[in-house]
Amino acid sequence: MTLSTSLLTGDHHVHSTFSDDAVSTPAENLAAAQAVGLREIRMVDHVRVSTTYVPEFLAAVRALPTVDGLTVLTGVEAKILDASGTVDAPPEVLAALGTPGGPDRVLLADHQVPGPDGPWSPRATRERIEAGLDPADVVEMLVTATVRAMHAVGRAQLAHPFSVLPKIGLTEQDVTDQLLDALADAAVATGTPVEVNEKWHCPGPRVTDRLRAAGVLLVASTDAHQAADVGVYDWVRG
Ligand SMILES: [Zn+2]
Ligand SMILES: [Zn+2]
């Protein structure tokens, strides 16, 4: 991978106790970011359409002490629900993106496959493929939904793109250059950064090289769920 070292001074996807599967507070994550010398950290927690804690989360992040040389950004992580690009986030949070009362960005996640009728679990998707659904159609649906979600949200970031593929028996090699170019065009048109994600080991060099060549902003992320992992890169660095 040819990420410049300066990218590794940012961590654009860090979870806190506002996510039910993470253990560190925003203050602990901030201290960890300072300790490893990060210059940028994006604090992010999981939401669904029914989530109500976002104002409290944003207040907690904005109440953190200022650290010289460290920019603190915010976001919420939401899955892409269906092929039309609907996002599983509260409408008022989406409406407030980029304003003083809202998070900076929505991290679009492929936790499930966005099907025409709603999210497909990896298992349900594998069963459809075994029953004859063309994997190429699944990949196209995933990329199309992601492109639509980027345009619909306006201020997105792609979290661990293509992390769902191994779960459904596919790899990034199943994504055509044409689909990668469609993804890149949408990311450039909407100013959407794309993560290179330490936790999920994706996307790989072929995808990142092609996106970068198209002018997409790549950002490094750990997807840390504990402060000890903030800003610590092994796979991304390698
Ligand atoms: Zn995720
Ligand atoms: Zn995450």
Inside any domain, residue 157: yes
Inside any domain, residue 192: yes
Ligand 2 geometric centre to CA of 140 (Å): 23
Dihedral of the alpha carbons of 56, 58, 61, 66, in degrees to the nearest 10: -130
The CATH code of the domain that includes 107 is 3.20.20.140
Q: Given this model, what pLDDT does residue 2 score?
A: 42
Dihedral of the alpha carbons of 88, 99, 225, 162, in degrees to the nearest 10: 50
* Residues 232 and 29 sit within 8 Å (Cβ to Cβ): no
Inside any domain, residue 238: no
Each residue's pLDDT tens digit, 102-157: 999 999 999 999 999 999 999 999 999 999 999 999 999 999 999 999 999 999 99
Ligand 1 geometric centre to CA of 111 (Å): 6
pTM: 0.96
Each residue's pLDDT tens digit, 193-225: 999 999 999 999 999 999 999 999 999 999 999
Please, where are the H alpha helices in 113-204?
122-130, 135-153, 164-167, 177-190
Q: Given this model, what pLDDT does residue 238 score?
A: 79
Owning domain of residue 77 = 5-229
pLDDT at residue 28 tops 70: yes
Ligand 1 geometric centre to CA of 229 (Å): 15
Each residue's pLDDT tens digit, 77-98: 999 999 999 999 999 999 999 9
Ligand 1 geometric centre to CA of 104 (Å): 17
Each residue's pLDDT tens digit, 41-70: 999 999 999 999 999 999 999 999 999 999
Ligand 1 geometric centre to CA of 197 (Å): 10
Query: Structural domain tally of the chain?
Result: 1
pLDDT at residue 186 tops 80: yes
Inside any domain, residue 155: yes
